[in-house]
A and B are shown apart, each in its own frame.
Chain A
Amino acid sequence: MNKIEASWVRPGRGVAVAVAAAVSELQGPDRLAEVIVVVPPGGTAATLRRLLPQVSGGVAGIRFLTPIDLAVELVDSSVSTMRAVTTQLQLAAITAVLRSDECPEALLGVRDHPATIDALVDMALSLRAAHVHERALTALAGEPGSVRSALVEVVRRARQRLVELRVRDESATLAAVEDVDESVLAALRVVLVVTDTFHPAQVGFLRRVADQSQCRLVSIVPAATDSSLIRQLGELGCGEVPQSPTTTAPRVVSCPDPDEEVRQVVRWCAALIDDGVPADDIAVICAAQSYRRPVRDELQRAGIAWSGGAVEKLLGSVAGQVLRHLVDGIVGEWDRPNVFRLLSVAPMYPIGDLGAPRRVGQWTTLCRSLGLVSEADWSAATARLEAAQSARRQRWGDDPDDAPSRREAADTQGLDRLLKLVERLRNQTGRIMKAKTWAAATKALGSMLEDHIGVSTWRERAWADGPAWQRNAADHVEHLVAGLAELDLDGVAVPFTASTMRQVVGTLVDTPVRRRGDAAGAVSIADIGGAVCIDARHVFVVGVNEGVLPATAVDDLLLGRDLPEPAASVIEGPRARASRAERAWNALLASDATVTATFARTDLRRGGEVYPSPLLVGMSIERHESHADGLINGQALTTSERLARDDLALSHSSRLARRVDALRARLNPEATEFDGIVGPHPSLAPPGKVWAITAVERQAACGLGYFGPHVLGLTDETDPAAILSIEPAQRGTLVHAVFELVATEWLALAEEGRPPWLHGDHLTATHERAIEVLDQLAADIGSQHRLGHEAAWAAERVHILQSIAAALDHEASEGSRPVAGEHSFSGVEVGGVAFRGKIDRIDLMPHGALRVTDYKTGKVTASKDPLSGGQSLQLPLYARAADHDRALLTGSENGGWPPATARYLQVRDAGVKAVEVALDAALIGAFEAYVAQWLDEIAAGQFSPQPHPPNGRCLMCCVDSLGVEELAERARHFSGRANGSEESE
């Protein structure tokens, strides 16, 4: 073998210049002569495609091929025309071996696990080129009878089955290429580009290519520590490797956390572009895959075009999610959550006469209000809607024969469409469940898939504005589904069942889909492994943290950190992947680019504080302090950030304007309306308004808690699909309603004919009536799925009845009698302001005073502060209202009777507990002061949020979505200032 003379270059643009020169030399005067440029995996091909036209004036005649693609072109047609191996075939073959008698004993206990099949498919992929070296596989297998040997055996046998089916894999190609005549190789004009290591199994073939007179080798100068690349260059026939190039230390910046790290990098990108740097000249390199998505999202938010070879899993694509939800529904059921999870992913493709889009938001609201949750509910849906509409008309006094309102018509039409869609899904599912073969099931599944992601030509048009990779992924998913029919092939056939289909689909959507560049003039995003030949003048490397770059090598049963020889010569192990990352880092520092490396100081997902990579040891580190720093001092990323920072006016979009205001508010050292300080407005406390004391209590608890429901009219309701057992509020409503009904029914009797309240037979009758009433009320609530699971309700029902019974028994022993249940009052004054409300119960006590009772199904404890700092104001008001309405309630005037008393009656834990509240002068004084204070705040438009208890967030927490903790911190800050000033006074 000859010694190969390589062209040694610096990474980046230098590679393109050298390749252009080599191509030119090989083409000679014939500028259209074909030259094959063979590249390693990673970003080299993309860089060369972009740069070659710039440095050589064209790419005419140049073809980029990977070594294996080149080999396929050279081998005998009896091999190259064989069916190429697919993931489906690989999976089928492995499943067939595991389910057969050939399954090694060591794996019998785990052969049915889907994860075992996944792992073996991965292993087969790793060993795809190793089958030509029997000794290597034997070395990898280790001791006979060991677990690793069993795994290798399964992969070998699965391959054997595929070979018998005339399926071609990389090993077959590499074996066949050995027979290719030297004269064929000699006729090729090839430029072999070494920016990274090639797969070790391909090196032998590449050595033969390199040895030809019409082959030129262009290589980066490896770092002195890069032993694997130096060794591979030796194997390719290169002589002495030049001394490593000089490197330049990068700018290193420490950031508060990964989110801000990415945002800060994107701010720098934006600043460079503003300064006139072409976006093509900027690259963001991700040290770990987890950075890809945030980098892409932040660039997108900032309106910066991006491109790159980032790889996503099919599962993360729209089509992949649709497929997963489809099989979930097929194997599970088409209840509301499953249907809506599917419909919400891709709602735009028109399905027959049902059209598009599918309005999932509108349907969700409708289904929640009708209590549609389970698959069984669909059949009752129309009747429920009609009943709800009829009840609404009755409530508002509308004529039932009037034409439907616009809303009613829209609801009816929307529900009709939804039900037809559900029916369609169920029919399609039925076809799959009846299928006996993969081919039949695949046809039905393909039709379901088409309903939701459409056909390729439609996607080209309708998804044109979306990322190209989503279209690629959708095509890929279509092919995968079509390819499931291969599981019927004799020799590797897997019996079809719906659950097997789910397993198989789970494995298939776990495969990567390559993202292609979407546009020219875009910032490149690349993984660290693909950065070895990236060409950009400004490179940002994010995630340069310990354990991330280089990634911690993980012990793996299949491919350990150190592969035994000769396995290492044909299999790429974890160490090769780790050294690829380090090689890319060295290449970046040796290139002409300006490199900025960033790392996060904390990462909650990784357990708090994190540290810089050992690669940064000895480098000086700048510190980026906080999120606010980035916004105030950095480049604005979004339109709203820019407008907020530069204090620009905005008129055309009210939503954007509010977002800008919110951002400005966060930077404001003073409290603003986003801290709840909206300022006075006549509508907040109009003269003559009659107040509800519960609303005032809500203001006391949290200003924003009042502002949302009482000023904006917002409501929040739990989705019935998520209710496992009855919610506390619903339980309270039931208990209140029972007590109200039994009392009002008794009061409705003529006074002379009434039995004594809760005495003798009446107590027994009331116990029985309470059960009837509870069951009637529960039936209504249950039809909305708000009682929770039937079994949970059965248990709760007993408990509630026991509690009610205990309360009735307790009351029977007291000797009081009711004068009102759920007594409504209005116009009762506190400090000159009128209040209205409803009192759970008013009793006449033997000594002639009235007593108000507030039923509680939550815990009540006697407290030294019965007003709870102004948050419990009902009882003093209710007592006052009872006395105010005494004549109405008892028929006797107020004079001479003791004032009304008040109590809470806790009805829970199958028992009852009364907590009396002494309404003395001090308490009444405090009550009036609190009412005045909270009403003043409301009138002044001061709706300061209060720090919420853990897990006690309401729908008004974090109104501007800029961070609930930050909002609470501001609330603490401002309320602390107010308290401080009060104390100093």
Chain B
Amino acid sequence: MTAPPTDSPNHVLLPDWVTADPGGSLSVSAGAGSGKTTSLVGRVAALIETGGVPPSELVVITFTEKAAREVSHRLRQRLGNVVSLDEAYIGTIHGFCQSLLRRYPIEAGLPPRFTTADELTSGALADERAAQVVQELYNKAAKEPAIEHALTVMASFGAMMFLPDLVRAIDNDWLRFTEVELDRPVSIEVAHSTVMRMLGQVTMDPRYVSASQAMRNKIDTAVAVAKQAFDFVDSVPALARVATKLNTYPPTPPWGPLRDTMRYACFQPALDRLMAALVPLVVDAAHGRITRGELSFDDLLVLTRRMLRTRPDIRTLVRARHRHLFVDEFQDTDQVQFDVLTELTSSVAPNPASMFAVGDPKQSIYGFRGADVGLFSSLLAADPSRQELTVNRRTSADV
């Protein structure tokens, strides 16, 4: 699939397919130093110069402000002063979503004007918010025994300190939790009977059968204690102890999976219960931000996605204005960002925008932000005309 390179106007060798049909959609897998940004700039320039497309129709998404400036700088060098890039959007996806929300705030359910905290401030505010939500959860637990039970289970695992992390995870994509039905938290009684059933099956498990006698004795003791436990909350630590005993065994089958199964059985009902209690608190906090017009960094994405999904009229307007999307470092895209791009480019709705997506499946650096390299892989897999850039322009042949 790799085409022989040709000399590009930037004096860097680019394959012909980069500029052959600059207005069409294309997914490109590109290794480190193979000229991702150069290809992107070359294609944008070709679209303006030979395609005659006005810059206002272009959206170039990069994953950092720095990369956006680099692209702008190279485009300015490439196009000179003849073409003004002022009307093109070149920047991060957060900035792009912000510009859409500023144009259609009421349609997005926002006040006519809003402010957005930058990434650093958003992080600090999210920490404060998480502490506040946990405090509210504790207030709720004082009135609702089911939540209190769930907290006890968390404490049994020494996991209370992770509650703020759980809140932040919900907060990052809070709107999703209002759009999908959460798994109904199982009652403590149901959870208890499930665990009991599982305990009854332990001795039939081939992994148990193949264990040493000493290990079987340990498991027998722990299972007996767990079965005698008065209720679910009491049985959890007993189960956890079984799992803990299994910790001393290798994590490979049969011990690792057996331990994980047991831990999961202990933990999941409590986690479901806490999620059901936390989500409304997080969503309330998000609605508070909306009414005050003080959005967080992540709100920009989730609210844009909602607007594009629920307001076809706005999606049509956006598609009509932004006809061509160019996405650099696509491997760093997370699910919400992917959804936003899909809303603009999917052919399910009329008049889809084209998308030139370039990335390196081996180079994702934003895993901590939720980037999912699998999204890029699936995009590549679904594109029969996908291309690959392989020439390394950063290192010499000797290296």
Contacts and interface: CB of A to CB of B under 8 A. Distances in A.
A596 interface: no
Interface in B27-45: none
Interface string B234-263: 001100110010000000000000000000
Contacts of B291: 112-115
B218 interface: no
A626 B138 CA distance: 48
Interface stretch (B105-113, B191-199, B336-344): B105-113
A151 B104 CA distance: 13
B107 A147 contact: yes
B8 interface: no
B99 A791 contact: no
Q: Which 7 pairs across A and B sit closest by C-beta, in order of nearness? A: A115-B293, A910-B237, A115-B111, A119-B113, A791-B141, A799-B155, A795-B151
Nearest to B238: A910
Contacts of A608: 64-66
Nearest to A857: B158
Contact of A113 (B156, B157, B241, B292): B292
Nearest to A801: B237
Given A118-B293, A555-B102, A796-B155, A911 B237 contact: yes
A606 B147 CA distance: 41
Interface string A717-746: 000000011000000000000000000000
Most chain A beta-carbon neighbours within 10 Å: one of B69, B156, B240: B156
A802 B155 CA distance: 10
Contacts of A611: 69, 73
A789 B69 contact: no
Majority DSSP secondary structure for residues of A touching B: helix
A607 B240 contact: no
Nearest to A554: B102
Contact of B158 (A119, A555, A556, A909): A909
A106 B110 CA distance: 12
B376 to A, nearest CB: 23
B48 interface: no
A714 interface: no
B112 A607 contact: no
Contacts of B1: none
B66 A557 contact: no
B377 interface: no
A347 to B, nearest CB: 25
A109 interface: yes
Nearest to B266: A910
Contacts of B102: 554-557
Interface in A97-154: 106-107, 109-110, 112-116, 118-120, 122-123, 147, 150-151
Contact of A115 (B64, B99, B147, B294): B294
Nearest to B120: A605
A182 interface: no
A33 B392 CA distance: 79
Interface residues of B, number: 52
Interface string A604-624: 111111110000000000000
Interface in B154-200: 154-158, 160-161
B56 to A, nearest CB: 12
B157 A115 contact: no
A60 B107 CA distance: 58
B290 interface: yes
Given A799-B156, A910-B240, A913-B244, A558 B112 contact: yes
A82 to B, nearest CB: 29
A873 B336 CA distance: 50
Interface of A: 106-107, 109-110, 112-116, 118-120, 122-123, 147, 150-151, 546, 554-558, 604-611, 724-725, 788-792, 794-796, 798-799, 802, 806, 908-911, 913
Given A151-B112, A799-B155, A910-B236, A607 B294 contact: no
Contact of A109 (B109, B141, B152, B240): B109
Given A796-B160, A911-B241, A116 B66 contact: no
A546 B69 contact: yes
A791 B118 contact: no
A910 B235 CA distance: 11
B119 interface: yes
Given A790-B138, A792-B160, A116 B112 contact: yes
Contacts of A796: 155, 160
Contacts of A604: 120
Contacts of A725: 160-161
A792 B151 contact: yes
B114 A115 contact: yes
A555 B119 CA distance: 20
Contacts of A806: 237, 241
16 contacts: A110-B109, A113-B291, A114-B291, A115-B293, A118-B293, A119-B113, A120-B112, A147-B104, A151-B112, A556-B113, A557-B103, A724-B134, A794-B141, A799-B152, A799-B158, A909-B156
Given A791-B148, A908-B158, 15 more contacts: A107-B106, A110-B110, A114-B293, A116-B112, A120-B112, A555-B103, A556-B102, A608-B64, A791-B151, A795-B154, A798-B152, A799-B152, A799-B158, A910-B241, A911-B244
B277 to A, nearest CB: 11
Contact of A557 (B112, B157, B233, B236): B112
A120 B69 CA distance: 34
A556 B115 CA distance: 12
B64 A607 contact: yes
Contacts of A791: 137-142, 147-148, 151
Contacts of A150: 106
A910 B113 contact: no
A122 B113 CA distance: 10
A910 B111 CA distance: 49
A910 B293 CA distance: 45
Nearest to B121: A605
A606 B148 CA distance: 42
Contacts of A606: 65, 118
Most chain A beta-carbon neighbours within 10 Å: one of B139, B157, B158, B160: B158
A68 to B, nearest CB: 25
B88 interface: no
A806 to B, nearest CB: 7
A799 B161 CA distance: 13
B131 interface: yes
Nearest to A725: B160
Given A558-B112, A608-B65, A792 B138 contact: yes
Contacts of B347: none
A908 B160 CA distance: 13
B74 to A, nearest CB: 13
Given A147-B106, A151-B112, A555-B103, A115 B240 contact: no
Nearest to A603: B65
B135 interface: yes
A924 B68 CA distance: 60
Most chain B beta-carbon neighbours within 10 Å: one of A109, A605, A792, A794: A792
Contacts of A795: 141, 148, 151-152, 154-155, 160
A790 B103 CA distance: 46
A638 B66 CA distance: 35
A604 B113 CA distance: 26
Contact of B105 (A554, A557, A799): A557
Contacts of B293: 113-116, 118-119
A55 B110 CA distance: 55
Nearest to A106: B106
A558 B106 contact: no
Most chain B beta-carbon neighbours within 10 Å: one of A115, A118, A607, A794: A115
A909 B294 contact: no
Nearest to B245: A911
Contact of B66 (A107, A123, A607, A792): A607
Nearest to A913: B244
Contacts of A112: 291
A557 B240 contact: no
B276 to A, nearest CB: 16
